[in-house]
Structure formats: C-alpha cells, structure tokens
Amino acid sequence: MCRLMAYKGTSILLDELLYKPKNSLINQSINARELEEPLNGDGFGVGWYSHHISHEPATFVSLNPAWSNRNLRNLAPKIQSDCMLAHVRAASVGEVSEANCHPFQYRELLMAHNGGVENFGRIKRDIRAQLSDELYNWIKGQTDSEHIFSLLVNRLNTEHREFSADAVTDAFEYTFHHVKSLMKKHGIHEEAYLNMVVTNGHFIVATRFVTDDKAEPLTLYHSEGSRYVVEDGVSRMEAPKDDDEAVLVVSEKLTDDSHWTMIPKNHFVIVEHDLNVRIKPIKA
C-alpha cells in the first residue's frame, strides 16, 4: 500500500511537511510505521497550488524513490503553498513509471489514492466503456487509481456544473457504488480499499472506505484547527494565532501527540475553503 498527505491552511514551505517531521512522508517512503511492508519506493509525486499564477496546480512526479530524489530535496525548501497533496507509491496495479505516479491531475483537480482493487483487470474494460471520449483518451497509465478517478471526473462533468466539495462527494458515492457493482458482476470477492483524496486547492474531500462491511479500511487521520510547527524534527499542532490555521489529512500521523483523529470507517472528511471540517458517511 501507499502513503499520502494533504494539507490546506496557512501558506507553508513543502519542506516543512515532506522532510522535517521525524515521521515525514519522505521517511514513510522508506520506513512506514503503520504498514506490514514499510517500503514505498516505486515513485512519488507532489502537487501544489499557486493561485496568483494559475487555478491549476503544479505537479512533480518521479519513478525514483522519494528518499533519494535530489531534485525534490532541492525544490521543497523553496516552494510555498496553502494547499498541497503528496504521495509515495508501493506499486500494486501498473508498472513503475511516471504515468502511474500520483497525484493525478485533471484541470484544477488533484487526486491521490492509498489502496487497491484486486483483479482490477476484470473490471477495467467496463470502467473505460463508461467514459467520455475526452476522459478515455486522458488516461495515460494502467493503475486502478487513475481509472477510478476518471470515472469520478466523468460523473462530475455529466452531472454537475462546477467542481464543488458537495459535487465531489456525490461523484465519489456514485463511483464507489459503480465499482462495487462491477466487482460483483465479475466475481471479485476480495475487498477493495479506497482511501482517496481530491482537492482543487480550495477544498479537500477524502475518503476512508472499504467495500467489505466486515473488513477494516486502511488508516486515515486528520488534524484540524491548529498551526503546524516543526522544530528540530519534532512536529506538533499548536493553537492557532489569528488566521494562522491548518488542516492535515494523512495515512500516518506525523506526530505522536493527541491532535490526530482517525476518520470513521466508510466516511468522508471534507475540508472547506474556510478550513471548516465535516465528517460525513459515504453512501455507496
């Protein structure tokens, strides 16, 4: 499985999130604490927003391990953003290539996924058959993640006029229900793990979801309403000062303090543009 991290709040250097915490995402790429297999070395990616330049995000992906990428190490202390989505990959579906590295971008949207669909090849053709010509040709890789994201975007484009947080939650519910139906149709009995994050730079919608009612989803936490601080490798969430606030959504806690809350099974966590956080059940 992979590891991911989403941030929305006061503008911050990527270095503060990717490298400085002792359990940073870069550390999780080589020594994840909450996985049986701690290595996530099949590529990485990070996307961030500079709204004064463009409403679409910038992305940097590489098939090299995150812990040894010189370019990322040099760029991270020099890029500042109020919204960031990062991912380190342990390949399950799809070869090790940049086309299969998260986050995936469609217009102003970014998406990253931790989890997978067993025997995805059985439902891949049916998913692609549901897509518009634009989205069919938009897919560049082989992952279940990118195909599921394309199905979600297809729903947004056909049923909604704008990419709002509520529209994304509707699209997630439709997509998860459709994936479950296809799994049943093709005799896939193994559970699918669908921890996914979508952002447009103004909101974040994340899911902690598993298709089997008897199974436990993969870990996903959030921390809200505080200021994110790192000192000497020790990161913590402090009480906010004025407008200095932040929300984090992560596969693994970056700190050992009590500010982290596990998102309930089969629920959304929705971070609004004003950093208000909602927890909502997923109906799929």
Please pick, among 1, 2, 131, 197, the residue that the annotation labels catalytic. Answer: 2
Q: What φ, ψ does residue 72 adopt, rounded to 5°?
A: -65, -40
In this structure, what CATH number is given to the domain that contains residue 8? 3.60.20.10
3-state secondary structure of 180: helix
Query: Range of 168's domain?
Result: 3-281
pLDDT, one tens digit per residue, over 220-232 is 999 986 656 666 5
Q: What is this structure's pTM?
A: 0.90
Domain count, the chain: 1
- Give the tokens for residue 189: 């009995």
Chain mean pLDDT for the chain: 88
Q: Is 2 a catalytic residue?
A: yes
Q: Is the peptide bond before 57 cis (omega within 30 degrees of 0)?
A: no
> Of all residues in the chain, what percent carry a pLDDT higher than 70?
84
The answer to whether the CB of 260 falls within 8 A of the CB of 21 is no
